[in-house]
Structure 1
Amino acid sequence: MNLRLQLFFRIMLIGFVCLVVSAGYVLYQTDQQAKLEADLTALRIEKQLTQQLLKMLSRYDYSVAFPDSNILQQLNGVPGSCVQFLSRTESRRRSLCNEVVHDETRWPQWFGELYQQLFQPNYEASRWFSFNAITYGNIIVSLNMETEIARAWSNLRAVFGILSVSILAVSLLVFMTIHRMLRPAQLIVRGLEKMRQGELQTRIPSFDIGEWRRTSDAINALASTQQQIMGENRQLALKLINAQEEEHRFISRELHDEFGQCLAGINALTTSISQTARKDCPSIISETESISHITAHMMSALRGLLTRLRPADVDELGLTRSLEKLIKSWNQRTGGETRFNLQIDDEVDSLPEPLPVNLYRIVQESLTNIAKHADASEANIKLKYVHQNQLTLQVEDNGQAKRDSFNQHMGVGLLGISERVNALGGKITMDIQNKGGLKLLINLPVSPPPVSTTGQHHV
């Protein structure tokens, strides 16, 4: 569950607690209000009875019975309540019950039972009536239980309605506010994910909130530094690769010019000795033939070494012819056990340095890896332009590759390919196909990117 939903549910929980507390407070106040009204009614009756006695004693008029029932009728007491006057000897009793106002809304049974357990809906307010140190009787105001429960239920419904709408509105407003406040976090996470995938040119925008703005500035500064370091490392790696290729070219030229000439001289001298031996010394012909075989083997080994050091075909024939020749040699070498297929665009022969020789090396290493480890019957190599400034190399086979072992470690060959691609400013994707085999997808810029941090892409 994301942070927004967690905060929203917590706000709703707090709102629910406030709603319950408010409901309890409303019920408590309803009960207290009813009791207060009963006590005030008893006090008003006491004052009216006092005035009646004062009139009776001052005028000596005892024609009206005490207490006067009209006094009780004129008082507007609590709806549904009953007023009683009990003389001290209970020889006289006056009682009056106010009319019960029936409400169409009835309360649930559980509410009535709960209200009776928590409060006293049948409360009685009692006051002893005394005048001139003489106690005449007891004034009792009794609340009507059903009326009080109905009033409490009505108040509760009103409060519940208002608070429910208010809490829901506040929760939605808070949720929208939280959503707006946390939107920078989504952009930051999205930007970090892109940076983790290698898109160091990604930049997080600035925000109005100070904390988020400082966070984005720090991340952008770190990304710029990392991008600069990666660019410098890529430039150094490219220089190293170029230096290695130049060294390989120098060594191959020296081997070809010096060692190759020496082998050619040995081969010519051996041929001359063999011709002379046929006339003058036939017994050494077998030795001269052995020397010729050894020389031929050394020449073959030298050509293989020169090819590995520096593929001269790339400089002389171009990348297309070189790869076709390489594929043909691997098909002959495997004897039909693995069929290598090549699809290549014609425009790749015009690629700038150092792309041609590096592409040749990548394909060469890929074919070696397939022949050694894939146990495949077919492999496809595709080299084509995606657009004018981007080239794609795809190498896939139908061999056997385990995803677990592939994820845990990468072989030396694949690691070398990955380092070479990174040095050229490209991207490499390696995945295990569902039908088996390894799929290698390489995207390379036609011109290696300059080391710069000005190119920025905002999230």
Structure 2
Amino acid sequence: MRLVLQLVARLLVVVILCLTAATVWATVDAYRSVDRATAASADRVSEALQALYWRELLLRSSRMHEHLLPVPEWRTTETVKLISPGICVQFEPAKPFEKPLCGQSQGLGKAPPRWFASAVQTLLGGHAAVARPISARETTAGVVSASPDPDAAIRLAWAHILDNIGVALLMAAAIALLASIAIAHTLAPARSIVAALQRMAHGQYRTALPRFHSMELAMIGKAVTDLGDRLAAAMEERAALTRRLLEIRDDERRALARELHDEFGQNLTAILAFANTIEAGTQDKSVAEDARMISRASLRIMASLRDTLNRLRHPPAEELGLEASLISLVDSWHSQHAARPLIQLDMQGDLADVRGTVAATAYRVAQECLTNALRHSAAREIVLRIERRSGEENALLIRVEDDGGGDAASVQQSAGFGLTGIRERLAALGGSLSIARARRGVSVAATIPLAA
């Protein structure tokens, strides 16, 4: 899962938790606000009736105090305005059959769900009535008792919660959206780092990264740049060592070729001459037959030695050029192995100026791939394709494909000296080797940068 999505998911979890906490707080506050409204209504009505009581008491001083109870004309429109919606006020002592005076309870919102009403009443309990004396000095003046209507209280709490939750949802959505944009913008430079690592995986070790404003990303970018520089330096040192080892090995191959030619070649020639002399000078048929067998064995060994010397000697590509050396290589295979599969040579692009180490490496790759295809497969046809690619690639592509039905995976995992040598030569020039399954066999492709 992408890091941006993970951070956004965690942010949404935090927002949901905060929204849940806000919902619980809003529920408790809305439910308790009914108690506050009840107390406020009792205070306002008691203050209004206190003023009315003292006015009547002063105007009618000749009357008894009990004749003022209940306070005359207290059930008025002005008194109703002092009562909060859903709150009912009762004057004590009340007249017989007198109903409480209630505030406006219409339009308090939709009826809440049953589970909400039962849950709130179970967890938070009911609402207590609030009593306020009309006068603190005259205890006989009466008492104002305010109590909320249970159904109206639940409706008020539900409407208050819906209002708060709506605002909270809008704020949560805005916070999640803006935070997601900020997180995505902050982590956007990570794509540059990933792209640089991917280029490094393909061999482009020295990759320039943009300047990051975040300290953490800047540290990561610097570490990636330093790693690329160290890898590039290590690969350059490795390539130099590989080239030096190849030069030493080529010198050893040439020295070995001279030794084989001087020692084995002369001895085999002498053996062949002795066998011919014995065959010509003897009258014994069995001895003559043995001499002929020795001659034939010597000729086979000399042919094998000649092939070995051709492989050990300096490749002709450095002197003749790649195109001429490849034509000579294919012709030699045809002449020596007439019964073997057909080898098709396909050359594309201008190969005339491909010489030196690149030409020698391409020749060795083609030679080794042809040898493996002829020895280890039952191919009827082998295609050797050499292509020079210009432009940005500027590389030489060597591809050998056969129809012998081999296993590309086993060839890829092979630790033979031939493929190992090819990989070393290509690594010394910054090239690459790939082995894949062809339509009817195995395809081996090597790429050599011409800049090498």
Please, what TM-score do these two structures have when normalized by structure 1? 0.81
Q: Report the Cα distance in structure 2 between the residues aligned to 1:343 and 1:322, rounded to whole angstroms.
A: 14
Partner of 1:445: 449
Q: Report whether the alignment pairs 1:183 with 2:191.
A: no
Distance in structure 2 (CA, Å) of the matches to 1:232 and 1:438: 33
Query: Contact 1:49 / 1:67 at 8 angstroms: preserved in 2?
Result: no
Match of 1:320 in 2: 323
Number of residue pairs aligned between Structure 1 and Structure 2: 442
Question: Which of 286, 301, 306 is residue 303 of structure 1 equivalent to?
Answer: 306
Q: What is the rounded CA distance, in whole Å, between the counterparts of 1:432 and 1:23 in structure 2?
A: 64
Instruction: Name the aligned partner's letter for residue 446 of structure 1.
Output: L
**1:230 shift after superposition:** 0.9
CA-to-partner distance for each residue in 1:305-341, whole Å, 9 max, x for gaps?
A: 2112116654675433433343345456666564332
Unpaired segments ≥5 residues, structure 2: none
Aligned-residue Cα RMSD (Å) equals 3.6
The answer to whether 1:83 aligns with 2:89 is: yes
Structure 1 residue aligned with 2:210: 205
Extract unaligned runs of 5+ from structure 1.
449-459
Q: 1:397 to 1:77 in 2, by over 3 A?
A: same
Q: Which amino acid aligns with 1:145?
A: P
Out of 173-182 and 347-356, give the one that drifted further. Answer: 347-356
Give the corresponding residue for 1:19.
19
Taking the TM superposition and a 5 Å limit, the aligned residue runs for 1:60-459 are 60-62=62-64, 65-68=68-71, 70-73=73-76, 74-75=78-79, 76-87=82-93, 93=98, 95-103=100-108, 107-119=112-124, 123-127=128-132, 139-253=144-258, 255-256=260-261, 260=265, 277=281, 292-293=295-296, 295-310=298-313, 313-314=316-317, 318-330=321-333, 338-345=341-348, 347-387=350-390, 389-402=394-407, 405=410, 410-433=415-438, 435=439, 437-448=441-452
Which residue identity lines up with residue 327 of structure 1 in the other structure?
A: V
Checking the alignment, whether the CA contact within 8 Å between 2:19 and 2:168 is kept in structure 1 is yes
Distance 1:442 1:285 in 2: 52
More displaced 10-residue stretch of structure 1: 405-414 or 341-350: 405-414
- One-letter amino acid of the counterpart of residue 326, structure 1: L
Q: Which piece of structure 1 moves more, 179-188 or 60-69?
A: 60-69
Once the two structures are superposed, residues 198-256 of structure 1 have per-residue CA deviations (whole angstroms, 9 ceiling, x without a partner) of: 32233433312222222222221222122112112112212222332233234434544
Question: Which is further off, 252-261 or 1-10?
Answer: 252-261
Name the CA distance, whole Å, in 2 between partners of 1:69 and 1:81: 22
Q: Report the Cα distance in structure 2 between the residues aligned to 1:314 and 1:344, rounded to whole angstroms.
A: 15
Which structure has more RCO (C-alpha within 8 Å, separation ≥ 6)?
1
Offset, 1:8:
0.8
CA distance in 2 between partners of 1:45 and 1:316 (Å): 117
Cα contact 1:124–1:142 (8 A) shared by 2 = yes
Contact 2:53–2:68 at 8 Å: present in 1 too? Answer: no
Displacement of 1:134: 5.2
What amino acid does structure 1 have at the position aligned with 2:36? L
TM-score by length of 2: 0.82
Alpha-carbon distance between aligned partners in 1 of 2:71 and 2:426, rounded to the nearest angstrom: 111
**Residue of structure 2 equivalent to 1:6:** 6
Note if contact 2:402-2:442 (Cα within 8 Å) is conserved in structure 1. Answer: yes
Distance in 1, Cα, partners of 2:96 & 2:86: 26
Point out the more displaced range, 436-445 or 331-340: 331-340
* Mapping for residues 36-51 of structure 1, pairs under 5 Å: 36-51=36-51
Change (3 A) 1:37 1:305: closer
